[in-house]
């Protein structure tokens, strides 16, 4: 079983995370992504993702961006 541990950082003022492009050494390109941990999940395909953050992480923005399906697995 492979587990990927990543971090949801603090967002910028205005209530959003910036998007950027991620290019891996095999040439795979992920365009206009906001969450590196989720991009890495697409590339590595782990069995489990543990996403850590702080009170400064914008969890509400993360879930509103289409990840509300993960709220059932939410653990504090």
Decide if pLDDT at 9 tops 70: yes
Q: Give the per-residue pLDDT at 54.
A: 86
DSSP string, 1-65: --EEEEEE-B-BTTTB---EEEE-TTS-EEEEES-HHHHHHHHH--SEEEEEE-TTB-HHHHIII
Q: Give the per-residue pLDDT at 68.
A: 55
Where do the domains of the chain lie? 3-73
Among 8-22, 34-48, 55-69, name the one with the lowest average pLDDT. 55-69
Decide if pLDDT at 30 tops 70: yes
Q: Give the per-residue pLDDT at 63.
A: 76
- State pTM to two decimals: 0.70
Residues 6 or more apart whose CB falls under 8 angstroms from that of 75 comprise none
């Amino acid at each position: 079983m492979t587990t990927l541990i990543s971090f949801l950082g603090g967002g910028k003022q205005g209530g959003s995370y910036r998007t950027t492009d991620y290019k891996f050494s095999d040439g795979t390109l992920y365009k206009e992504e906001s969450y590196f941990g989720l991009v890495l999940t697409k590339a590595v395909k782990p069995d489990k993702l543990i996403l850590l953050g702080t009170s400064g992480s914008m969890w509400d923005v993360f879930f509103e961006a289409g990840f509300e399906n993960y709220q059932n697995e939410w653990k504090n």
